[in-house]
Amino acid sequence: MAEAQPLVVVENLKKYFPVSSGLVFQKKAGSVKAVDGISFSIAKGETLGLVGESGCGKTTAGRTILNLYPPTAGKITIDDQELSTGSKPDLKEFRRKTAMIFQDPYASLNPRWTVSAIVSEPLRVHKLFKSEKERTERVNHLLNLVGLSSRLINRFPHEFSGGQRQRIGVARALASDPLFIVCDEPISALDVSIQAQVVNLLEDLQDQFGLTYLFIAHDLSMVRHICDRVAVMYLGVIVELAERNELYENPLHPYSQALLSAVPIPDPKRDRERRRIILSGDVPSPINPPSGCRFHPRCQVGTERCNSDDPQWNEASPGHWIACNAITNP
């Protein structure tokens, strides 16, 4: 799949949020470097997983790629349409090609709108129907695609369960026939038995329409199941990127190793046997990230050099990229 023409290319993307101090005369006191220079590409029909702990910038990355937050620096190319800082892009066309599925199926649907209004909003914005009849037909079709009955078209979000609401969110995302969908933790608010339903639905839709996904999640087991390639983020940067089985079976970066070893396995015997790397401390503040390698204060293999040298992005084996001083030039 890596051979195919990339649909999405992200180059050196940065997103900083200003932090101000003072109540009345606000001064800029610094910035939260939520995303600090990430680059990757996603092939058409591929699913790239973006994993990391809370606060690592994965959600900000997803939102900045779709221009929901204007990027501080960097370039995003989706289907040959380029967005970079300074250019005045045709955002409307860009937005028609992209969509987002949000984490919280309770907060992401307007409680005063009917299902019909919610799902047809992208159709209305992009003027994708000519008559009321066509609109209703299209909404019915979308609801059927996600496994909801078109009889529910005039109901309100509160009448649905979490899993059903997430299906409404998926139907809305599909409405404008997008090429690329950012799925931001689409299942983490759902019960286990419902998660599998939504994941299978996303996979079926991908097969049917050739969709390309950026799948943002903290559930590493689910990411291994659903994604073709996986990128691991730590404090605003990508530290490792590889094909899924390569990453899970042969993680090279000390952070990826610790992260993967912390995931519980639903098998008591396997769980007792394996070696767990327990990281000390918490993720540092992205306002003042550590110098050199950002992971060095928690790293167990780092050397003196890691305190000052920024690790370079290196291809350890074909398709397996890593940013670590200790591994690439020991």
Partner 1 sequence: MNNNSAPLLQVENLRTHFHIPEGTVFAVNGISFNINEGETLAVVGESGCGKSVTMLSILGLIPIPPGEIVTGKAIFRDKDLIKLSESEFEHLRGDEVAMVFQDPMTSLNPVLTIGKQITETLRTHLGLTQDAAEQRAVELLERVGIPEAASRLGNYPHQFSGGMRQRVMIAIALSCNPSLLIADEPTTALDVTIQAQIVELVLHLREQLHMTIIWITHDLGVVAGLADRVIVMYAGFIVEEAHVDDLYENPRHPYTLALLGALPRVDRRRDHRLNSIPGAPPNLLVEPQGCPFAPRCTYVIDRCWAENPTLVPIAPEHKMACWVDTSTIMTGSR
Catalog residues that contact partner 1 under the rule CB under 8 A. 53-54, 161, 163-164, 191-197, 199-200, 203, 218, 220-222, 224-226, 245, 248, 258-272, 274, 276, 278-279, 282
Q: Among residues 290, 311, 296, 308, which one has the least CA distance to residue 33?
A: 290
- 2 or 125: CB nearest partner 1: 2
Check residue 147 and give left, alpha or beta (phi > 0: left; psi -120 to 50: alpha).
left
Q: At 97, which helix (H) or strand (E)? A: helix 91-97
- 271 or 310: CB nearest partner 1: 271
CB of 325 to partner 1, least distance (A): 21
Give the other-Cβ count within 10 Å of 26's Cβ.
Answer: 10
CB of 276 to partner 1, least distance (A): 6
CB of 226 to partner 1, least distance (A): 8
Please say whether the beta carbons of 131 and 83 come within 8 A.
no
Task: For residue 249, give the amino acid letter.
Answer: E
Give the other-Cβ count within 10 Å of 290's Cβ.
Answer: 16
- 123 or 324: CB nearest partner 1: 324
- 122 or 236: CB nearest partner 1: 236
Q: How far is CA 298 from CA 161, 232, 294, 325, in A?
A: 41, 16, 9, 14
CB of 88 to partner 1, least distance (A): 39
Please say whether the beta carbons of 293 and 25 come within 8 A.
no
CB of 205 to partner 1, least distance (A): 14
- 203 or 309: CB nearest partner 1: 203
